Amino acid sequence: MIDSRTIENSDTVTQTTFRDADYETAFQRDGYVVVDFATPEIVEALLESYTRLNSGIDSGYYPSLMSPDQDYKAAANEEVGAIVWPLLNQLIEGYEPLVGYFMVKHPGPETEVSPHQDWILADESEHPTMGVWLPLTEVTEQVGQMKVLPGSHKWLTGLRGSPGFPMEWEAEHERVRDELMVTVPIQVGQAMVYDIRVLHGTAPNRSQSTRVVGSLYALAENAIPIHFYKSPEGLVQGYEIADDFYTTFMIGDVPPGEPFIEIKDYSVEQLSFDEIASRYAASRS
Ligand SMILES: O=C(O)CCC(=O)C(=O)O
């Protein structure tokens, strides 16, 4: 695609993510965009893959990355990646795929995915890490729609990793969810393409049917994949990780190798609801 940015200087070009200037503007402002993404045939192909690969998990909410079955994770990564990456690559420039997976939500009142930011997957100081969330089955209010705090990718700080990190919004996450976050309706065939720093989450699946989503993470070209781990004693360690990390790692594991950084007694400032609301308002004005 040729647009005005093609002839701008290279510094500017390296700072953009979306090929389309309108998407880029919305993405910079909100941290996500909803786009028409896949044809019915592509959705069908992903659903066929989901059914055939069969995670063996038939209750609750799970991303396929959390399966203990490494062959399943590797197959899901390969098949989702092969279908979703070429579509994402048409929308964003300067990226490469990291890992593909399914996000499955069986019916049940305990299936909320509460507000969160995704783990840090690479240095985010120059380029955001991108996620795509592509519903393969209907996502209605009953099924549990996506909610987002628009613009929060710009002002939330802190490290994110496994098995759990203190987050500056956590004490107030229910009020933030109920009073500030906005619902993002996404039809089958559309996708939310987002900066993984943006605060997001989904309501429980109160319908009778299983919800299936295809997902993929993409890193800026040549970015080094990293993972932050926090020990039960509060020691945070950052690791450079290998290509098979996401298909072999289980939450709770200490990543293999030598850490490139260690931080003792890691903590973050807890923000009050008013502080979060005022930062949110400032980012929208
Ligand atoms: O699939 C869901 O319901 C939530 C997904 C999500 O929050 C994520 O991809 O980080």
Q: What is the pLDDT of residues 15-42, one digit of tens each?
A: 689 999 999 999 999 999 999 999 999 9
CA-proximal residue: ligand 1, atom 7 (nearest): 201
Cβ proximity of 96 and 221 under 8 Å? yes
Ligand 1 touching residue 103 (CB < 6 A): yes
| Residue ranges with strand state E in 139-267 | 146-148, 182-184, 190-195, 200-202, 211-220, 226-230, 236-240, 261-263
What SS3 class is residue 50?
helix
Task: Name the residue ranges covered by the structural domains of the chain.
Answer: 4-159+179-223
Per-residue confidence (pLDDT) for residue 50, from 0 to 100: 97
The alpha carbon of 19 and the centre of ligand 1 are apart by a number of angstroms equal to 25
Q: Which helix (H) or strand (E) segment is 35 a member of?
A: strand 32-36
The alpha carbon of 183 and the centre of ligand 1 are apart by a number of angstroms equal to 13
Ligand 1 touching residue 228 (CB < 6 A): no
- pTM of the shown model: 0.93
The alpha carbon of 5 and the centre of ligand 1 are apart by a number of angstroms equal to 32
CA-proximal residue: ligand 1, atom 1 (nearest): 103
- What is the phi/psi pair of residue 184, to 5°? -115, 100
Per-residue confidence (pLDDT) for residue 7, from 0 to 100: 30
Question: Within 10 Å of residue 234's Cβ, how many Cβ atoms?
Answer: 12
Ligand 1 touching residue 105 (CB < 6 A): yes
Reported CATH class of domain 4-159+179-223:
mainly beta
Name the residue with higher pLDDT: 136 or 3.
136
Per-residue confidence (pLDDT) for residue 10, from 0 to 100: 37
Average pLDDT over residues 154-182: 97
54 pLDDT band, cuts 50/70/90, is confident
- pLDDT tens-digit readout, 210-260: 999 999 999 999 999 999 999 999 999 999 999 999 999 999 999 999 999
